[in-house]
């Protein structure tokens, strides 16, 4: 018996996968924390006190996007925004105690999601998927058609 032919409609498959993962993430995010806010918490979890622009770059957001995200996350009590002591025009972002607790819950959820996403695939297969997804970012760099 022949193996079923794989669906190679990559744009369609990528879009459907992205929507389904986003819906799942939205239902699993720590209470009161959006998936995008959790992404910002992950950035600050790696390096607290990051510059606002650096956080935007890490999340692939422009200044309007990161500014709005930061304001909403400050209002939620998850981060603090402080003027950079060396450049009064720049802002640095810091986790609050509440943000650290939310980050811990988000990390647990992300680990569970990654385990589920990789289920049924070998490490070599996951390496290929990761390489392909990274290549999409290189082939379509941010700002190319904005």
DSSP 26-74: HHHSPTT--HHHHHHHHHHHHSTTEEHHHHHHHTT--HHHHHHHHHHHH
Q: What are 51-97's pLDDT values in tens digits?
A: 999 999 999 999 999 999 999 999 999 999 999 999 989 999 999 99
**All structural domains of the chain:** 28-112 (1.10.10.10)
Q: What are 122-145's pLDDT values in tens digits?
A: 999 999 999 999 999 999 987 765
Q: At what angle do helices 35-46 and 10-28 cross, to 10 degrees?
A: 80
Verdict on whether the full-model pTM lies above 0.85? no
């Amino acid at each position: 018996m022949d193996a079923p032919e794989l669906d190679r409609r990559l744009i369609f498959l990528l879009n459907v996968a992205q929507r389904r993962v986003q819906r799942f993430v939205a239902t699993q995010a720590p209470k009161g924390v959006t998936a995008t806010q959790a992404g910002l918490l992950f950035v600050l979890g790696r390096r607290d006190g990051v510059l606002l622009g650096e956080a935007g770059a890490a999340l692939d957001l422009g200044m309007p996007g990161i500014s709005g995200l930061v304001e909403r996350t400050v209002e939620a009590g998850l981060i603090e925004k402080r003027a950079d002591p060396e450049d009064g025009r720049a802002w640095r972002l810091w986790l609050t105690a509440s943000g650290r607790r939310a980050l811990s819950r988000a990390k647990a959820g992300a680990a569970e999601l990654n385990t589920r996403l990789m289920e049924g695939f070998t490490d070599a297969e996951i390496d290929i998927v990761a390489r392909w997804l990274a290549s999409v970012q290189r082939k379509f760099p941010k700002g190319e058609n904005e």
